[in-house]
Amino acid sequence: MLRSLRDTQAAFAAHLAGRGQPDLLAAIAGDSRTIQQRLQLHRHHVARSIGAALAATFPTVEAVVGQEFFGLLSHDFIARNPLEDPVLSRYGEHFPQFVAETQQRHGLPYLADVARLDWALNVAFHAPLGARLSAAELAAWPAESLPDLSLRLPAGSSLIESAWPLDLIWQASQPGSSVDTVHLAAGPACLLVFRRREDAAFAVLDPGEAAFVKDLSRGNLLAVALQRASQVATDFDMAATFGRLLGLGVLVADTTT
């Protein structure tokens, strides 16, 4: 028996999440059959809303598998992962892992990485837009202290490494794309995902750039990152890489070190 308003609200929330609540039926006045229909209507509406939010967060996955199959995937995912945060943009963190675990069902070995990219873009888009290191600020830095400069990526940024050509798959999946074939042998790819002023984006990194950015993201000093990048790619161009990263606006000077 539900003894308080709080108990009733908790039972209703559990019902919306798909868990049966017999006491909830007894707490609602009216014909039991009508009550069940009304409660089912609420549950169906919530499930559809969460499913729509999931599709908005993982548009590339939906484009790859189609709306109908994505609906089946999202239905099963929602059943296993009830909504706990009222902010729908934060729902779906574990969807890439779910996609990986259901590979036998969809048969696409790259789909989990596509989901990882979608989620990374979502995280970057909702990250705060803080100050970034500019070329002018870097030029004003004392030359003798540059090797000890500590840089990091802005909030919400991430590196996505994949054995598949994620950038090409993403491009082919965009509305109106003229690309209808992606050769999977074109991979692997390393993508730097970051927040721009109006949206989120990614940049494709070559092996040297990827090693350089990865070291910076781990908190290593500029000199250490340069050394590691040069070991990975003997032709690593420090000036060109720095210029590109500054142009993208993906560097933040860590003044706390």
Q: Which has the higher per-residue pLDDT, 113 or 75? A: 113
On the CB side of 107, CA atoms within 13 Å amount to 1
| Range of lowest pLDDT (9-18, 116-125, 214-223) | 9-18
pTM of the predicted protein model: 0.83
Query: CA nearest 56: which of 86, 89, 81?
Result: 89
pLDDT-above-70 percentage for the chain? 81
Looking at residue 123, its pLDDT comes to 97
Q: Locate the domains of the chain by residue range.
A: 1-108, 128-257
**What 8-state DSSP symbol labels residue 147?**
G
Looking at residue 55, its pLDDT comes to 96
Residues 6+ apart with CB under 8 A from 151: 133, 216, 222, 225, 251, 252, 253, 254
Q: Which residue has the tokens 């069940």?
A: 36
Residue 153's CB: how many other CB atoms inside 10 A? 19
| Range of lowest pLDDT (20-24, 68-72, 117-121, 218-222) | 20-24
- pLDDT bin (cut points 50, 70, 90) of residue 236 is very high
Rounded to 5°, angle at Cα 142 from 137 and 146:
85
Q: Which has the higher per-residue pLDDT, 10 or 117? A: 117
Decide if domain 128-257 falls under CATH 3.90.930: yes
Query: CA nearest 115: which of 173, 75, 157, 156?
Result: 173
Looking at residue 86, its pLDDT comes to 76
State the chain's mean pLDDT as an integer. Answer: 85
Q: Under a CB-based contact definition with an 8 Å cutoff, are residues 168 and 179 in contact?
A: yes
What letters, b where the CB count within 10 A reaches 16 and e where it falls short, cover 53-70? Answer: bbbebbbbbbbbbeeeeb
Looking at residue 257, its pLDDT comes to 46
Over residues 140-144, the mean pLDDT reads 78
Beta strands in 135-231 (DSSP E): 151-152, 158-162, 189-195, 200-205
| Range of lowest pLDDT (1-5, 31-35, 81-85, 118-122) | 1-5
Distance of CA 123 to the CA centre of its chain: 5
Residues 6+ apart with CB under 8 A from 70: 55, 58, 61, 62
- pLDDT bin (cut points 50, 70, 90) of residue 87 is confident
Structure tokens at 241: 């890489």
Query: CA nearest 79: which of 107, 46, 103?
Result: 46
Residues 6+ apart with CB under 8 A from 42: 15, 16
Query: CA nearest 175: which of 51, 42, 59, 24?
Result: 59
Distance of CA 196 to the CA centre of its chain: 15
